[in-house]
């Protein structure tokens, strides 16, 4: 593989670990929906939530995941059955994804409006990634998080990123579209993402066949996802250790 002329990176689960923020927001939404007697959450439920975070695809599932854990569903059952189980639990409580998603968004928005520093402080950078970014000449970030928060989090680490290098939630476009748009301007693009389904979506686009796709094994994915990436002809499984090394050691 030739070295990339552009490195494209997802943010959450690749550069930045937002697990604490996810859990705090999810817990607040769970409390609003289910009014549990015991607050605050136990460390055990937090730790189990962190491990199961990869099963969550959309925001509304987060409080439902906590509800499942508090109702006694085992980690193994949740890993196997999650998409159906999540919907069953919703229907059982006469809820729907849209209204639960709106509650999650509102709780997060209120938190950000009332105390931005505390919200930002629930984010951590994976070891070594900031140094790697500083050492990378050409990179863009493609994320479903709002650009203004990404910019602020990176600024705190001494990384400045220009507007045309940051594609956040407000762009409202799928990641494959953004890659397609970037392609004519850059030769070889390498893209790192922690969600297998996003990479599989990109794989379906014939005009993106020369984009090298990496699954970040340190992000929010499961062993079964990493196995698929490892066995794939097209995808590369990348470790945090490799990520910090030179490009010729990435595969």
Nearest to Mg ion of 12, 217 (CB atom): 12
Options 17, 61, 194, 217; binder of Mg ion; rule CB under 5 A: 194
Q: Is 61 in the site for Mg ion (CB under 5 A)?
A: no
Bridge partners, residue 193, by sequence: 215
Q: How far, rounded to the nearest angstrom, does the alpha carbon of residue 240 sit from its chain's CA centroid?
A: 15
Question: Cβ 99 to Mg ion, closest distance in Å?
Answer: 25
Q: What stretches of the chain adopt beta strand conformation (E)? A: 6-9, 16-17, 124-125, 139-142, 166-167, 189-193, 212-216, 235-238
Question: Cβ 167 to Mg ion, closest distance in Å?
Answer: 13
Options 8, 12, 19, 153; binder of Mg ion; rule CB under 5 A: 12
Bridge partners, residue 87, by sequence: none
Phi, psi of 148 (to 5 degrees): -65, -30
Question: Cβ 31 to Mg ion, closest distance in Å?
Answer: 26
Nearest to Mg ion of 28, 195 (CB atom): 195
Nearest to Mg ion of 12, 17 (CB atom): 12
Bridge partners, residue 228, by sequence: none
Q: Is 10 in the site for Mg ion (CB under 5 A)?
A: yes
Nearest to Mg ion of 10, 212 (CB atom): 10
In the three-class reduction of DSSP (H, G, I as helix; E, B as strand; rest coil), residue 143 is classed as coil
Q: Is 13 in the site for Mg ion (CB under 5 A)?
A: yes
| H helix runs in 121-195, sequence order | 129-134, 147-156, 175-182
Nearest to Mg ion of 13, 63 (CB atom): 13
Q: Is 17 in the site for Mg ion (CB under 5 A)?
A: no
Nearest-CB residue for Mg ion: 13
Question: Cβ 72 to Mg ion, closest distance in Å?
Answer: 29
Nearest to Mg ion of 90, 166 (CB atom): 166
Question: Cβ 143 to Mg ion, closest distance in Å?
Answer: 7
Q: Please name which of 31, 29, 64 lies closest in space to residue 49, comparing C-alpha atoms.
A: 64
Question: Cβ 242 to Mg ion, closest distance in Å?
Answer: 18
Q: Pattern 150-189, binding to Mg ion, x per CB under 5 A?
A: ----------------------------------------
What's the Cα-to-Cα distance from 229 to each of 14, 102, 199, 226, rounded to whole Å?
Answer: 16, 33, 9, 5
SS3 content of the chain, % helix, strand, coil (to 5): 55, 10, 35
What's the Cα-to-Cα distance from 67 to each of 73, 77, 138, 207, 236, rounded to whole Å?
Answer: 9, 14, 43, 42, 35
Report the interface residues with Mg ion, using CB under 5 A.
Answer: 10, 12-13, 194
């Amino acid at each position: 593989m030739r070295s990339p002329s552009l490195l494209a990176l997802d943010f959450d689960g690749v550069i930045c670990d937002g697990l604490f923020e996810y859990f705090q927001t999810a817990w607040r939404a769970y409390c609003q929906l289910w009014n549990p007697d015991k607050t605050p959450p136990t460390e055990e439920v937090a730790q189990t939530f962190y491990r199961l975070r990869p099963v969550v695809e959309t925001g509304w599932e987060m409080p439902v995941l906590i509800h499942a854990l508090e109702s006694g569903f085992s980690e193994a059952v949740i890993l196997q059955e999650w998409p159906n189980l999540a919907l069953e639990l919703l229907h059982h409580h006469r809820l729907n994804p849209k209204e639960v998603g709106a509650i999650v968004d509102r709780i997060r928005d209120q938190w950000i409006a009332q105390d931005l520093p505390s919200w930002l402080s629930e984010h951590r950078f994976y070891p070594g990634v900031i140094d790697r970014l500083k050492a990378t000449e050409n990179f863009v970030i493609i994320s479903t998080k709002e650009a203004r928060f990404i910019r602020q989090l990176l600024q705190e680490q001494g990384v400045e990123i220009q507007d045309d290098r940051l594609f956040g939630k407000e762009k409202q476009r799928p990641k494959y579209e953004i890659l397609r748009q970037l392609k004519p301007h850059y030769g070889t693009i390498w893209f790192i993402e922690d969600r297998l389904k996003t990479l599989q979506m990109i794989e379906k686009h014939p005009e993106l066949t020369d984009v090298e796709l990496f699954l970040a094994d340190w992000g929010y994915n499961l062993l079964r996802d990493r196995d698929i990436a490892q066995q794939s002809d097209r995808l590369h499984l990348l470790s945090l250790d490799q990520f910090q090394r030179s490009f010729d050691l990435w595969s």
